[in-house]
Chains A and B, each alone.
Chain A
């Protein structure tokens, strides 16, 4: 079973082509890093997985179920499987951090305050932000907002996570912290994901490090080496709605495409 599958998807906005005959597969527990410049159709891919944007032609399958022609109501059970981390977080600024994270629980009809509090503390603990529980989004820094957004996406244990430039515009240390979270989810929780970015450093971190559980149950990060090569993260490069490259990071660096070389340099 594949987690996400695109088959010959095309999309254009007002005559401008965003995706052209785009096909790809994300396997279960795999992370697909989508690279590409601004306007290359990366964000559109993510929105299609969650059914927020409909393709003009072609099919989108989530866990082998065709979601292309589903209505908003029919999409609800699909969206429950998916956690979406938006660019800049997209936290509801009228709600506190706690209510943002608890949003999905309340929407799903959980009324038990104690249970809600427990789950919220657990996911905020995972992203290391228990202290911010009572704050409003406006009081948070950019990096904290992204982490709260990840926490909000994690509620309900989605099997698929979609990250829209989670490290864009952040300092290296915060970016690193966010990458580690995503690696933990990939390796320890076996979540399938799409990681859209133009931040090469984060992309390489994702492709070269993996998380293992230490003796006391804490996650430690190990780099791949001569004996071990990470295969659950693959790259995909988009340019003007077309796939320029797909494969592991090792081959990406050796491709002799002009645009790719320019992008990587």
Chain B
């Protein structure tokens, strides 16, 4: 019983924090400087790992799909398969998972350390609302940077797929790119951009939530960090399923 109570309580607290983070957008003071700094740390800082993830995912996709497609004599469709799987699914999800690992953990441990060293209390005592100064800038940063990073992952994934197709599978370059681009329509691109916005929000808010509710010293910081990464990753994958279902339902 207490487990159910605890779960409901956590969901309630998380929802309240998210609600405040969003409504802070319409309330003063706004911390533009902190927001830009977080965008830099989260967006620019994650670029390299996102590019590497995207590149090798695209490469391995091309390798695997060409192998299966060969059985049907459809190796020519490799480009289409790579671009559809990347842009609709793997680009957003893998970017979000990498962000959960790099950014979600960073946010949780930073805020967690601030809680256990009483810096959050000090901030409140000095007249600052920590949700305005700390949570909202991080939420904005993850929500805006995740789609941009996803685009980079998609792009470099296609490049990876093309390199494998060209050098390993001996496919025609023009054929790869035409099938890759032709298969896309605006709906797919939109799906590929809505998902990372939701995922970015999840990663940022989960990181902030677990960071701020840290208790129990340095050990607690470690615990919060782990919980943030695990929870964010699972939520991303669950949300991906439901978002895909919703998009499929809405498609004309």
Chain A interface residues (CB < 8 Å from chain B): 47, 50, 52, 72, 76, 79-80, 82, 84, 86-88, 90-93, 103-104, 107-108, 152
Q: Which residues of chain A come closer than 8 Å to B126, judged between CB atoms?
A: 79, 84, 103-104, 107, 152
A16 to chain B, nearest CB (A): 13
Interface size bucket, B side?
A: 10 to 19
Q: Is B121 an interface residue (CB 8 A)?
A: yes
Q: Which residues of chain A come closer than 8 Å to B114, judged between CB atoms?
A: 92
Of B29, B121, B129, the residue contacting A90 (CB under 8 A) is B121
B110 to chain A, nearest CB (A): 9
Mark contacts of B104-122 with chain A using CB atoms, 8 A cut-off: 1 yes-contact digit, 0 otherwise: 0000000000100111011
Find out whether the CB atom of B124 lies under 8 angstroms from the CB atom of A90: no
A94 to chain B, nearest CB (A): 9
A143 to chain B, nearest CB (A): 17
Minimum CB distance partner of B123 in chain A: A92
A242 to chain B, nearest CB (A): 25
Interchain Cβ contacts under 8 Å between A and B, 26 examples: A50-B124, A50-B125, A52-B121, A52-B125, A72-B124, A79-B127, A80-B127, A82-B125, A84-B121, A84-B125, A87-B118, A88-B117, A88-B118, A90-B118, A90-B121, A91-B122, A92-B114, A92-B119, A93-B117, A93-B119, A104-B126, A104-B127, A107-B29, A107-B127, A107-B128, A152-B126
Q: Which residues of chain B come closer than 8 Å to A91, judged between CB atoms?
A: 119, 122
Minimum CB distance partner of A86 in chain B: B118
Find out whether the CB atom of A92 lies under 8 angstroms from the CB atom of B127: no
How many inter-chain residue pairs (CB < 8 Å) link A and B?
48
Q: Which residues of chain A come closer than 8 Å to B119, judged between CB atoms?
A: 90-93
The docked-state distance in angstroms from the alpha carbon of A84 to that of B122 is 7
The docked-state distance in angstroms from the alpha carbon of A88 to that of B117 is 8
Of B29, B117, B118, B125, the residue contacting A79 (CB under 8 A) is B125
Minimum CB distance partner of B133 in chain A: A107
Tell me the residues in window 117-145 of chain B with beta carbons closer than 8 Å to chain A beta carbons.
117-119, 121-129
The docked-state distance in angstroms from the alpha carbon of A90 to that of B118 is 5
Given contacts A88-B117, A90-B119, contact A52 B127 (CB under 8 A): no
Minimum CB distance partner of B129 in chain A: A72
Chain A interface helix/strand/loop/mixed = mixed
Minimum CB distance partner of B126 in chain A: A104
Q: Which residues of chain A come closer than 8 Å to B117, judged between CB atoms?
A: 88, 90, 93
A44 to chain B, nearest CB (A): 12
The docked-state distance in angstroms from the alpha carbon of A79 to that of B124 is 9
**Extra pairs beyond A76-B127, A86-B125, A92-B114 (9, CB < 8 Å):** A50-B124, A52-B121, A82-B125, A84-B122, A84-B126, A88-B117, A90-B117, A90-B119, A92-B123
7 nearest interchain CB pairs?
Answer: A90-B118, A84-B125, A90-B122, A86-B118, A50-B125, A104-B126, A79-B127
A169 to chain B, nearest CB (A): 15
Q: Which residues of chain B come closer than 8 Å to A108, judged between CB atoms?
A: 127
The docked-state distance in angstroms from the alpha carbon of A80 to that of B124 is 11
The docked-state distance in angstroms from the alpha carbon of A76 to that of B123 is 12
Mark contacts of B71-112 with chain A using CB atoms, 8 A cut-off: 1 yes-contact digit, 0 otherwise: 000000000000000000000000000000000000000000
Find out whether the CB atom of B128 lies under 8 angstroms from the CB atom of A86: no
Minimum CB distance partner of B113 in chain A: A93
A154 to chain B, nearest CB (A): 12
Given contacts A80-B127, A107-B127, A108-B127, contact A92 B122 (CB under 8 A): yes
The docked-state distance in angstroms from the alpha carbon of A93 to that of B125 is 17
Q: Which residues of chain B come closer than 8 Å to A47, judged between CB atoms?
A: 121
Q: Which residues of chain B come closer than 8 Å to A103, judged between CB atoms?
A: 126
The docked-state distance in angstroms from the alpha carbon of A13 to that of B117 is 19
A134 to chain B, nearest CB (A): 20
A14 to chain B, nearest CB (A): 10
